[in-house]
């Protein structure tokens, strides 16, 4: 069901191991008995109106469970938690009731693609988008996410998906998602210029190879 990749990104002169798990098949909409879910996740699952949304949501949790099992961490001792406040939704975190050293985690889903990324010692962000989501190209819409210089590099739905996933992965690593204006970041290849704060932490970015007509990227912060 999933492909495992290891990526090593340079961040401030040091290397950080990033594990990425990718699924191109969606799990059933009902969670298996053995999968522990936080109360918040149970409530979210029950609220989905579309079966596909529930399946993408659960597939992402199953990728996390696979990661934890592989790392030898008991599933019963870990929950994926998120904080929602007046500012919006914050980056989810893995929390242990024991003394496990857990990685930062990031999730993304689009159509039948679901991706989870894990990193120790850095905040990770991941994004996947089906190329079909950008077809036909809507340049007016894209200009809300891409700077004029970035727009010059977009000629096809695939170009748009490549750029969008890089940007969203970076925004997720920072932890604010689109609560930060995407125009506050500009990508020059895989170099990221940040205009949001002069004291902003460095970002490292890498594309991911996913099967089929989709783009994906992972970022560290």
Ligand X SMILES: CC(C)(COP(=O)(O)OP(=O)(O)OC[C@H]1O[C@@H](n2cnc3c(N)ncnc32)[C@H](O)[C@@H]1OP(=O)(O)O)[C@@H](O)C(=O)NCCC(=O)NCCS
What radius of gyration do the chain's Cα atoms show?
17
CA diameter of the chain? 50
Taking phi first (over 0 means left), then psi (-120 to 50 degrees means alpha), and beta for anything else, what does residue 16 get?
beta
Q: Name the β-bridge partners of 95.
A: 79
CB 149 within 8 A of CB 167: no
Q: What torsion, rounded to 10 degrees, do the Cα atoms 166, 120, 122, 78 define?
A: 90
Does position 112 interact with ligand X (CB under 6 A)? The reply is no
Residue 48 touches ligand X, criterion: CB under 6 A:
no
Compare residues 108 and 206 and give the one whose CB is closer to ligand X.
108
Work out which of 10, 12, 30, 178 binds ligand X, going by CB under 6 A: 178
Confirm if 139 and 146 have CB atoms less than 8 A apart. Answer: no
- Choose which of 36, 121, 175, 207 interacts with ligand X (CB under 6 A): 175
Q: Which of positions 150-169 make contact with ligand X (CB under 6 A)?
A: 168
Distance, in Å, from the CA atom of 167 to the CA atom of 183, rounded to the nearest integer, reads 9
Q: Is 176 in the site for ligand X (CB under 6 A)?
A: yes
Q: Is 108 in the site for ligand X (CB under 6 A)?
A: yes
CB nearer ligand X, residue 73 or residue 108: 108
Q: How far apart are CA 46 and CA 39, in angstroms?
A: 11
Q: What is the DSSP letter of 46?
A: H
Which stretch, 12-20, 106-114, 143-151, 210-218, contacts ligand X (CB under 6 A)? 106-114
Which of residues 9, 22, 57, 221 is near ligand X by CB under 6 A? Answer: 57
CB-nearest residue to ligand X: 88
Candidate list 26, 27, 60, 122; residue touching ligand X; CB under 6 A: 60
Write out the residues near ligand X by the rule CB under 6 A.
57, 60, 87-92, 106-109, 127, 168, 172, 175-179
């Amino acid at each position: 069901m999933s492909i495992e990749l290891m990526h090593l990104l340079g961040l401030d002169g040091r290397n950080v191991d990033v594990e990425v798990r990718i699924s191109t098949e969606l799990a059933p909409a009902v969670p298996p008995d053995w999968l522990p879910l936080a109360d918040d996740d149970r409530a979210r699952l029950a609220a989905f109106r579309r079966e596909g949304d529930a399946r993408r949501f659960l597939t992402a949790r199953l990728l996390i469970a696979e990661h934890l099992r592989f790392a030898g961490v008991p599933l019963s001792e870990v929950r994926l938690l998120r904080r929602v406040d007046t500012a919006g939704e914050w980056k989810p975190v893995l929390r242990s009731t024991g003394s496990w050293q857990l990685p930062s985690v990031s999730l993304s889903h689009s159509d039948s693609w679901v991706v989870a990324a894990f990193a120790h010692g850095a905040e990770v962000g991941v994004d996947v988008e089906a190329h079909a989501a950008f077809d036909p190209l809507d340049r007016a819409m894209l200009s809300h996410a891409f700077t004029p210089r970035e727009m010059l590099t977009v000629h096809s739905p695939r170009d748009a998906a490549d750029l969008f996933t890089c940007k969203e992965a970076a925004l997720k690593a920072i932890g604010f998602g689109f609560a930060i204006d995407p125009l506050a970041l500009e990508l020059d290849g895989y170099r990221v210029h940040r205009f949001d704060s002069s004291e902003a932490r460095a970002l490292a970015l890498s594309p991911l190879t996913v099967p089929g007509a989709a783009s994906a990227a992972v970022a560290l912060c």
